[in-house]
Copies of this chain bind each other. A is one copy, B any other.
């Protein structure tokens, strides 16, 4: 395959022939020189292609092509790779010829046949608001910001696989469509092939025996329970796939469709789980700091100041461990000193709010903190019960600037205790017989956690709205493209 601009920029400027393929970002003229910056999305920087009207090879065709060249046009430029006299770039292209492959008109073009007019290319040189770019999500990856988000997202996704593969974890594809509701929580989307128009006309209750799967089915809210079945066979597994919530939350932190990473480890207690989560975050941040330095520098200077320092400090830190009970004591102490410190008053039994989590990590621990042993009433049924019969072996990882980034637990591996807890919560044992089987046959202590991939990207890039870190966000009223 032909070299990407990323590779050209890393090559020695030895006068080698080159072929630049990409999209025009800018065109500038200085006397006889014309500078065209071309970007192909392989890296943040474009390559500067310099045309010299004074050179013998400069033809009328080149002049004509450059004349009508607009931002966004797709081009092929031939030339030589040479040292760049300009600052901020080691190499540039001494351009010899240019072919415009696809134009990007700066003014409206009348439509042919039944087609409407083509409006001017919407991504002109000026800055655009993130709101505007969200409306043209099919073009926004061509901008600096969204190109950088896409590259960071790609690098982190691969880093997740690299991390687990290097440690003997097997990637497991847990099902998307499911007839069981993983946590007894989380609003589910329904999936159906019933004809809703006919259903409405019939006036009869839906007959799920006639639906595609023969029963009421929906989109998964978590792959954990199925991942546990594979951990009980392959020892170390992880999922990385889409999950869904049909919650009517129109916020900058919620998506109806998002990607989740869920490792699950046999023979692992909560201490192993905490160590794994710490190693995991540090490995991801180390990788992105190293391999996406240009993109991160952009985020640090244009999106959120201090991002690089925050990530570096997490890498250099030792995560603090603290029980929920101690965490609440710290929060109560803080509020005793300053009554209006929090919007929500913390108390033993409360779900920690984001403001509490940030306080714990930023003010108490001065770095990442893992809070463990939460009240069982605010955690899921499958978490291992402590002997105090009040708390469970849950663990949430909190990081500065965000709060919770990872939630996990050791799982209840005792059949009787798990079944009793499910009965308390009104869950029917027969609906989960396959899950209970893991405690009937070769049961093992095991632990795992979940990481929301988009929250991770937000943390690394500083992008404030979660809809800006996934190519095509799905939320209330939003399923375009």
Contacts and interface: CB of A to CB of B under 8 A. Distances in A.
B175 A72 contact: no
Nearest to A429: B115
A11 interface: no
A429 B171 contact: no
B229 A173 contact: no
B471 A174 contact: yes
A255 B383 CA distance: 33
A417 to B, nearest CB: 10
Question: Number of copies of this chain in the oligomer?
Answer: 2
Nearest to A248: B212
Interface stretch (A86-94, A186-194, A308-316): A186-194
A266 B333 CA distance: 59
Nearest to A423: B114
Contact of A171 (B42, B114, B154, B246): B154
A259 B242 CA distance: 12
A21 to B, nearest CB: 5
A458 to B, nearest CB: 15
Contacts of A42: 168, 234-236
A335 interface: no
A196 B214 CA distance: 15
Nearest to A229: B138
B434 A474 contact: no
A479 B213 contact: yes
Contact of A121 (B2, B215, B232, B441): B441
Given A2-B267, A177-B479, A235 B472 contact: no
Chain A, interface size category, equals: 35 or more
Contacts of A415: 112, 115, 118
A15 interface: no
B176 A257 contact: yes
Contacts of A150: 170, 172, 230, 233-234
Interface of A: 1-2, 4, 6-7, 21-24, 40-42, 72-74, 76, 101-105, 112-116, 118, 121, 123, 136, 138-139, 141-142, 146-147, 150-151, 153-154, 157-158, 161, 165, 167-168, 170-180, 187, 189-194, 196-197, 199-206, 212-215, 217, 219, 226, 229-230, 232-236, 241-242, 244, 246, 248, 256-257, 259, 265-267, 272, 276, 413, 415-416, 419-420, 423, 429, 434-445, 470-472, 474, 476-481
17 contacts: A23-B442, A40-B234, A42-B235, A74-B443, A104-B441, A118-B440, A142-B232, A150-B233, A151-B170, A161-B161, A176-B176, A200-B200, A200-B202, A200-B204, A213-B479, A214-B478, A215-B479
Given A112-B415, A139-B229, 9 more contacts: A138-B229, A141-B234, A147-B233, A150-B233, A154-B171, A173-B259, A177-B479, A203-B203, A434-B481
Which 8 A-B pairs have CB atoms at the shortest separation, nearest pair first? Answer: A102-B443, A41-B234, A141-B233, A213-B479, A154-B170, A74-B442, A138-B434, A214-B477
